[in-house]
Amino acid sequence: MIGQLALALHTLAARDPGTDAVVSDWLRRHSPPAGHRTTHTNTIAGAAVLHGPVVQARDIQGGIHFHQPAREDVPRPPVPRQLPPMRRALVDREEDVQALDALRAQRPAQASQLLVVSGFPGIGKTTLVSRWLHENASSFPDGQLYADLGGHATEGTGGSPVPAATVLEGFLYALGAPSVPADTAQRIALWRSLTSGLRLAVLLDNAFTAAQVRPLLLGTPTGLTVVTSRNHLTGLLADGAAVHRLGALTPESAVELLAVGGGGGRVAQDPAAAREVVTLCACLPLAVCLAAAQLVLRPHRSVSALAESLSQDQGPLDALRVDGEAVVRSALDMSYGLLPRDSAALYRRMGLLPTDRYDLFMLTAIGGDGAADGTTRTAGTDAVDMAVGALLEANLLEETSPGIYRFHDLVRPHARRRGDAEESDSQREHVLRRFVDWCLITATRAEEILTPSHRMPTRELPPSPVLPTPLANPAEALAWLDTHRNGLMAAVRHCADAGWHSTCWWLVDAMWPFFLRLRPSEMWVEAHHTGLMAARASGSRDGEGRMLTSGAIGLRNAGRYEEAADWYVQALEHATSDGDIRQQAQAVNGLGHIELLTSRFDEAREHFEQALRLRESIGYRRGAALSRRRLGETASATGDHRTAARHLTRAHSELESQGEAYEAARALALLGHVLDCDGDHEAGTQRLREALEMFRGPDAQSRHWQGRSLEWLGQAAERQGDVAEARRCYEAAQDLFQRLNPADAQRLDDRLRQL
């Protein structure tokens, strides 16, 4: 009985900070004083769990000391907290919360924990699960991940469910992986390794099939995966899933939700009409909230008038009782009909855009009206902000983060249908042209901030009144590229389909810092395939050369070496024909890198030496330094440490003088390793430690290169016979690699076993 009470109190304290504080204070006040001795026997039974070091003994005399192993103090990425924000009201879901608590408590101690919450669209699955996970955040100190699997995209939206490989890429980067394998099976393996032992919660929203979910499951009993779906996903029962079906609200609770959402006084004054409204809404939370929004938009409208409107709008709403889709469609039609003119126009145009995220400057770009003379009046941001506010109030739009908006799953196809039905062909083309212009102009601004030397002089910007989204610094630029990655890629596809060939490859080229920094391998390859065809169709020789070399890097990073080499050969032939020495050097250097990766060292050295001569002939100092670093890596791989040190010393000096902190730190680490291998232990160790500090700093931060530097420092200590220092370095490197690359972590484990 006492054990059960303790467990219940522990569960309540974990969910309620106030209770937690009271329990902690009681325990402090009732703990025995220092030096107090007791003859009581310690007993452990029931559901008790011990955390931390434990000693089991009959009698203990003297002091007991627990010594924790020393760990390298290294910076870690922020703990991911990706859950959608909690809604203001959660009405009548106490029993559902208790059911989830019970399912979680019933799972076997060593089993991977998987819960499935199913129900009608709009029933409140995401709202319930998000709030439940928020309230249990203390149980998941290693983070909470979220992904929308896009199951709704199959229902006439022209899309498809999100592939597991795409979701894994985002999750792995969120957990600190510096790079992600191109192969899906390797991503799954890295995901399972990276999350092993983590106390992590994963919410997979809008799942379509069990097969879509299965690659994303955690393989550790310390984590929790919750899946929401309109389908039952019975296939996951074989994976040990516990299923909870979420039903509609009771009429009383639905009336309470109607009052909370808007018009509380009017609801209280006419309870019969309020009950009729929620009955027509089938007590579906989404439909009830949309009905409440209509009361907010018309503060003088009675609940009886709302009920009459619901019963007559586009026919009777009896379908609400059996078909959730019909409920939402009717409610959306009515909410749309109540919108102000500008908000209704913005809603339709947003539905036409091939994107899942919106910001104010994007919406300002598409918010103008065509004039009689063919010109366009561009709406101001204030007017668009007011139109957005009306959409937010009507529950037709939600704000996912400051200034970033998205449609609910079921609202977006409704907006699309309205846009297709009510906008003319010329208006639809105008909206999409403005959207693409906004993508290109803002991506170019991000490129100027993140990679200022990359932009081609011959690449133009459209003569458009569209303004870019303001980006103040590199962090904002990279965040914008990441947030709008799907919209940018959709804009590339639309340009290709519409025959806007120049704009198509311009946009791909402007997205270079996105590909370079975030490395989305599949999107990288697709974008450059599309951009290459567009550059050729537009007759741009510069564009064709740029697409070939940039696309080859994407193919190389994806492990598609043969295709990458073919693209580099095409780029070399193209640049040689045009007499473009810089592009020739880029292609030759790329071929050398592929040779190095495939251990063909003589061929690699020849290519790097040729690239170095070409780059020096045109005074391209940065490129020459990077070729020297590759020559140093090649010489080191063949055991020629003296030649390697010479190349790396010069490469480091030149890169440092040009302010290339990250590239200079890589050259310095390689140099330290080479010097140590050549017998100069003191100089090698000094440079490795300098590089390690640079990789921990803000300008060249890299967990992968921290791990490599520590591993090389361990090797240096081992050569000097300092086993304790070697072990310390190897353990610190292994700790880093365990969250990055299982193969590297295993290599460090082997080194530790051999000490």
pLDDT per residue as tens digits for the range 80-89: 888 888 765 6
The predicted pLDDT at position 39 comes to 46
Given a cut of 90, whether residue 277 has pLDDT beyond it is no
Q: Is residue 335 predicted with pLDDT exceeding 80?
A: no
Burial class for 518, CB neighbours closer than 10 Å (0-12, 13-18, 19+): middle
Q: What is the chain's Cα-based Rg?
A: 30
pLDDT higher than threshold 80 for residue 177: yes
Q: Residues 691-748: pLDDT tens digits?
A: 999 888 766 666 778 898 999 999 999 999 999 999 999 999 999 888 766 778 888 8
Residue 345, pLDDT > 90, answer yes
Give yes or no for residue 545 having a pLDDT over 70. Answer: yes
Average pLDDT estimate for 243-258: 80
Query: E strand or H helix at 144, and its extent?
Result: strand 144-148
Task: Give the rounded distance of the alpha carbon of 616 from its chain centre.
Answer: 40
pLDDT greater than 60 at residue 12: no
| 143 closest CA partner among 746, 744, 739, 752 | 739
Most confident of 125-129, 288-292, 622-626: 622-626
Query: Is 60 exceeded by the pLDDT of residue 323?
Result: no
In three state form, how does the secondary structure of 678-705 look? CCCHHHHHHHHHHHHHHHHCCCCCCHHH
Percent of the chain with pLDDT strictly greater than 90? 37
pLDDT at 741 (0 to 100): 66
Residue 140 pLDDT > 90: no
- The larger pLDDT score, comparing residue 1 to residue 666, is at 666
User: Rounded to an integer, what is the distance from CA 692 to the centroid of its chain?
Assistant: 28
726 membership: H or E segment, kind and range: helix 723-737
Specify the pLDDT at position 173: 87
Highest mean pLDDT among 177-191, 401-415, 444-458, 637-651: 637-651
How far apart CA 215 and CA 165 sit, in angstroms, is 8
Residue 38 pLDDT greater than 50, yes or no: no
Range with the lowest mean pLDDT among 265-269, 322-326, 477-481, 736-740? Answer: 322-326
pTM (predicted TM-score)? 0.62
pLDDT band with cut points at 50, 70 and 90 for residue 54: low
Out of 491-505, 630-644, 646-660, 736-750, pick the least confident. 736-750
Which has more pLDDT, 46 or 371?
46
Asked whether the CA dihedral 338, 344, 347, 351 is positive or negative, the reply is positive
Mean predicted confidence (pLDDT) in 294-305: 76
Give CA–CA dist 330/304, Å, rounded: 18
Q: Where residue 53 falls among pLDDT bands split at 50, 70, 90?
A: low
- Stretch 485-506: mean pLDDT, rounded? 96
Handedness of CA 122, 123, 124, 126 (dihedral sign): negative
Higher pLDDT: 56 or 316? It is 56
Tokens of 574: 């193209």
148 neighbors 222 (Cβ within 8 angstroms):
no
* Average pLDDT over every residue of 220-225: 86
Comparing 220 with 702, which gets the higher pLDDT?
A: 220
Quick one: CA dihedral 288, 294, 300, 302, positive or negative?
negative
